[in-house]
Chains A and B, each alone.
Chain A
Amino acid sequence: MKHQQLTGELQERALLYAAGALEEAERTEYFRHLQEDDCAVCKAEVLESEVAAQSLAMMLPMQTPSESVKQRLLARAQAVRENERPRPGAQPKKSAFAWGGWAVAAAALVLVAVFLNFNAGLRQEVQSLNARVMELESQVTAQRTLLVSLTSTQTKVVVLGGLSSTPQARGKIFRDDAAGRWRVYVEGLPTAPVNRAYQLWAVPATGNPVSAVVFNTDASGSAMVDLATPQVAGGIKLAAVTEEPAGGSPQPTTTAFNLLGTME
């Protein structure tokens, strides 16, 4: 249904949609509304709101992709362009009887040239596609390995809760004891100040904590760390995160835990 005029509710929906904050079902329905209902009122609101949301990207530290991305893109585009180029054989034909022998020979040469060109274009595209397939296969293999690891019945999940000055922080440790690996995910933990970092500790029932890894979170407060299972005599009772000097400490310098979780 097309809307005739803007209301507060419509504006709010457009703002939330542009920010990416709608629930999936709402987002799907709203996208359908924009596309199928072609609602000019909502489209205008979304357009203006999207520009506002996109300004968030402008303040990120600028990153530069490798040159190979451009080369791959242009090779792909050129290959397609070559394939799409109109071929002389598709042009309206004059009577062959009206052409002399030279014209027939010239046409044959043109066809050969087009064929060779077409063939080169195809070869280039095949090479480009093969490279892409290899990349994708490599990604799929890595993702399968991760998926197997995360969904394995051997993998145990330790939930980390926020404490102290970062109650909003949370995290999970996926323990694959068979493989001897921990994969740690953290969210809502503000980036540590300059010259500071976060340190994950494996805490035994008795004795001193053992450093597992030193890490930091990104601007959104998230981090993902893959590490070998910490070796702790007598087993690990707790996993805890504290803020420490950059590079980490031999032992925690504070008891103000940012995150804490109990091992099974």
Chain B
Amino acid sequence: MPGPDFLPRKETHIELDDTELIRRIASRDDGALEAFYDRYNRIVFTLVFRIVRIREDAEDILSDVFWQAWQQANRYDTSRGKPIAWLLTIARTRAIDYVRSGKKRGTESEFDSNAPAQPDATDPFVLAGLQRAVRLCLEKLSQTQRVALEMAYFEGMSQAEIAKALNEPLGTMKDRIRTGMMHLRKCLKPYEAPL
């Protein structure tokens, strides 16, 4: 009787939820890795590229991120959050480590600023409603809060470094980051964690 092996591999994985994909990746199912990659490569790449700014290096880090997921899937703990949150944490950590190691950063010209501002329909984990919710939440941040958060999250700058760069007192900067983050948390809470 024809079983799943008779179907193209991706067809057997594409409908699986993230946690099941991680479970299968842990059992060395490279089809699950492929499905997981197809689902999240763009959001991970976008984050990494934004941080390191060099396409070639961002692609190397992207590969390393999914390779780490392949190797550590057996240690993934569902209490640690959704797989995409786990993946993005790995991605940011690797990208920031790269920047802090003193390697060069590229020009923004390598980052395609004409691309769509939000994930498209091929990224099924993000629904249109959630995209709007996130956008609304981010738009409610003050400009100064948003700049401080982006300097910390994308540039890997500490609160003291940001305060110095913006010529603001450290206490002000700490408060700005804290209130900005709290706003995002509260605003996104009703949407059951979009990521």
From A16, A21, A58, A218, give the contact of B111 (CB < 8 A): A218
Contact A77 B70 (CB under 8 A): yes
* Closest Cβ–Cβ distance, residue A166 to chain B (whole Å): 12
Contact A187 B165 (CB under 8 A): yes
Q: Which of A15, A18, A20, A187 has the most CB of B within 10 A?
A: A20
Contact B45 A60 (CB under 8 A): no
Q: Which residues 59-76 of A have a CB within 8 angstroms of B?
A: 59-66, 68-70, 72-74, 76
A51 in contact with B194 given A20-B92, A81-B30, A135-B60 (CB within 8 Å): yes
Q: Which residues 123-173 of A have a CB within 8 angstroms of B?
A: 135, 139, 142-143, 146-147, 167-168, 170
Which B-chain residue is minimally distant from A68 (CB atoms)?
A: B59
Cβ–Cβ < 8 Å partners of B43 in chain A: 57-58, 62
Number of residues on chain A facing chain B (CB within 8 A): 64
Q: Which residues 83-112 of A have a CB within 8 angstroms of B?
A: 84
Contact B188 A63 (CB under 8 A): no
Stretch of A114-122, A219-227, A243-251, A255-263 that contacts chain B: A219-227
Contact B155 A222 (CB under 8 A): yes
* Closest Cβ–Cβ distance, residue B68 to chain A (whole Å): 11
Which B-chain residue is minimally distant from A53 (CB atoms)?
A: B153
From B92, B108, B116, give the contact of A62 (CB < 8 A): B116
From A12, A63, A77, A147, give the contact of B49 (CB < 8 A): A63
A188 within 8 A of B: yes
Contact B166 A168 (CB under 8 A): yes
Contact B116 A220 (CB under 8 A): no
In the assembled complex, the Cα of A167 lies from the Cα of B166 at a distance in Å of 9
A15 in contact with B177 given A56-B138, A65-B41 (CB within 8 Å): yes
Q: Would you give 12 A-B contacts (Cβ < 8 Å), ordered by A?
A: A20-B96, A56-B149, A61-B114, A61-B115, A62-B120, A63-B111, A65-B62, A69-B41, A69-B62, A73-B33, A74-B30, A223-B107
The chain A residues found within 8 Å of chain B, CB to CB, are 12, 15-16, 18-24, 47-66, 68-70, 72-74, 76-78, 80-81, 84, 135, 139, 142-143, 146-147, 167-168, 170, 187-188, 215-225
* Cβ-closest 9 pairs across A and B: A218-B108, A52-B184, A21-B152, A61-B115, A15-B181, A57-B47, A21-B159, A52-B185, A65-B45
13 new A-B contacts, CB < 8 A, other than A15-B178, A19-B181, A73-B33, are: A51-B188, A51-B194, A51-B195, A52-B184, A56-B153, A59-B134, A62-B120, A62-B123, A65-B62, A70-B37, A147-B102, A216-B108, A225-B107
The chain B residues found within 8 Å of chain A, CB to CB, are 28, 30, 33-34, 37-38, 41-43, 45-47, 49-50, 53, 56-60, 62-63, 66-67, 70, 80-81, 85, 88-89, 92, 96, 102-109, 111-120, 123, 126, 131, 134-135, 137-138, 147-160, 162, 165-167, 174, 177-178, 180-182, 184-185, 188, 193-195
